[in-house]
């Protein structure tokens, strides 16, 4: 009798449960309630924008395989671009940056400040593999470094022609900012001119509004043809302005980094300045041009060649000099040991001086922070 009663109770409860589901305000939401969002009915971007989107996506996918993350361990207290938490006082400092593969057997370009003073350099490829790398060469003046891993058959980034790059063109900046993986930012070439770095020897850098954040350093700046046109190097403190080393300058320096481990920059041993309109008559000039020699370092190439303070350099080997950056660029790129002819204006008279270019000597003063405006460097 007890079993029969329980059975009857279970049978009676089933219809009650079904009725509860149908009562408004029950456990399930009403089918007629307003949805929380509006579903798209398949809208599409204008055809021109759609083509641009497809181009940008395909470029990003094609460029990611040669992009690498550069992880560095350096002694405690060493200064660098931080992308990792600060270590305890007795622990080594770990930082990271970016780079890209330029040859299938493992040659990788990055920034000097990313790997300078490193105890260990580790490269993480796009496919997740990790390799210890060795430093082949670096140059702090332009902020360029070459490292190598022992691998073969690697994907490579194609280097383009930065001289053809125009202000206003679209560019992509690739890298690993803040330790994030495989990021791409989009912008334009804002300017081609002087960088922020203290000792850059007169070469025009590429200024862009494509985001270059900590960790992007050493990654490629790429045009819409998928060619590397620069190496992301630095940014202003607010992150709104980025600078990249022109790839044509990089191509000129890589052979020296590979062969010598460094770049031998030309050097005269002078401090220089511009000639303004008020000063031009004082130096016998009809108009402001050339470069004023403010000081000559005793015993250095300019001093040995007879250059004196208050000389105005008008030409080097027949190439006219319009301003300080012209002189810096020409002298710094002249091979050490080559003799050049300087045409100078001295006391209102032109004369030629033969000067043998020496090797650049880095200043001993502490480096100015990378994102600060800098005084004019010396050739």
163 or 179, higher pLDDT: 163
Q: Is the pLDDT of residue 371 over 60?
A: no
Q: Which of 98, 113, 176, 332 is catalytic?
A: 113
- In this prediction, residue 236 carries a pLDDT of 66
Domain membership of residue 42 (yes or no) is no
Domain boundary residue among 230, 260, 290? Answer: 260
Domain membership of residue 10 (yes or no) is no
Q: Which domain holds residue 87?
A: 62-148
- In this prediction, residue 262 carries a pLDDT of 95
Residue with tokens 């470069």: 291
Domain boundary residue among 117, 148, 179? Answer: 148
Q: Known catalytic residue: 57?
A: no
Residues 297 and 341 in one domain: yes
Q: Known catalytic residue: 86?
A: no
Q: Count how many residues are written for the chain.
A: 379
Q: Which of 143, 209, 311, 326 is catalytic?
A: 143
Residues 216 and 252 in one domain: yes
Report d(CA 231, CA 245) in Å as an integer.
5
Domain membership of residue 156 (yes or no) is no
Residues 131 and 188 in one domain: no
Report d(CA 228, CA 164) in Å as an integer.
12
Residues 251 and 270 in one domain: no
pLDDT tens digits, residue range 68-116? 999 999 887 555 444 444 444 444 567 889 999 999 999 999 999 999 9
Q: Is the pLDDT of residue 302 over 80?
A: yes
pLDDT tens digits, residue range 310-343? 999 999 999 999 999 999 999 999 999 999 999 9
Confidence band for 241, pLDDT divided at 50, 70 and 90: confident
C-alpha closest to that of 129 among 62, 83, 74, 69: 69
3-state secondary structure of 302: helix
Q: Which of 98, 185, 217, 332 is catalytic?
A: 217
Q: What is the mean pLDDT of residues 265-280?
A: 92
Number of domains in the chain: 3
Q: Known catalytic residue: 303?
A: no
Count of C-beta atoms within a 10 Å radius of residue 54: 10
Domain membership of residue 28 (yes or no) is no
């Amino acid at each position: 009798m007890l079993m029969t009663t329980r059975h009857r109770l279970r049978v009676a409860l089933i219809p009650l449960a079904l009725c509860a589901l149908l009562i408004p305000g029950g456990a399930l939401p009403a089918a007629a309630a307003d949805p929380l969002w509006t579903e798209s009915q398949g809208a599409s971007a204008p055809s021109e924008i759609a083509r641009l989107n497809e181009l940008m996506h395909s470029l990003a996918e094609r460029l990611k395989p040669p992009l690498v993350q550069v992880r560095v361990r350096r002694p405690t207290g060493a200064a660098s671009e931080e992308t990792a938490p600060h270590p305890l006082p007795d622990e080594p400092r770990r930082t990271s940056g970016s780079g890209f593969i330029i040859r299938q057997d493992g040659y990788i370009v990055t920034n000097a400040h990313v790997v300078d003073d490193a105890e260990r350099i580790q490269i993480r490829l796009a496919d997740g593999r990790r390799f210890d790398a060795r430093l082949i060469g670096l140059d702090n003046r332009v902020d360029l470094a070459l490292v190598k891993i022992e691998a073969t058959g690697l994907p490579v980034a194609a280097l383009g022609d930065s001289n053809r790059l125009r202000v206003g063109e679209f560019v992509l900046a690739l890298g690993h900012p803040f330790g994030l993986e495989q990021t791409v930012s989009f912008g334009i070439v804002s300017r081609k001119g002087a960088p922020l770095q203290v000792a850059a020897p007169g070469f025009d850098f590429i200024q862009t509004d494509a985001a270059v954040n900590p960790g992007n350093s050493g990654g490629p700046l790429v045009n819409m043809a998928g060619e590397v046109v620069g190496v992301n190097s630095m940014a202003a403190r607010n992150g709104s302005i980025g600078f990249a080393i022109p790839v044509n300058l990089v191509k000129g320096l890589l052979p020296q980094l590979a062969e010598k481990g460094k770049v031998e920059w030309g050097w005269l041993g002078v401090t220089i300045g511009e000639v303004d309109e008020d000063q031009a008559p004082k130096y016998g000039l009809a108009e402001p041009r050339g470069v004023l020699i403010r000081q000559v370092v005793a015993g250095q190439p300019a001093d040995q060649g007879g250059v004196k303070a208050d000389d105005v350099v008008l030409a080097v080997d027949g190439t006219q000099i319009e301003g300080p950056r012209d002189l810096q660029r020409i002298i710094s790129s002249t091979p050490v040991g080559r003799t050049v002819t300087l045409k100078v204006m001295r006391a209102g008279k032109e004369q030629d001086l033969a000067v043998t270019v020496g090797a650049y000597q880095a200043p001993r003063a502490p480096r100015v922070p990378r994102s600060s405006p800098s005084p004019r460097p010396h050739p």
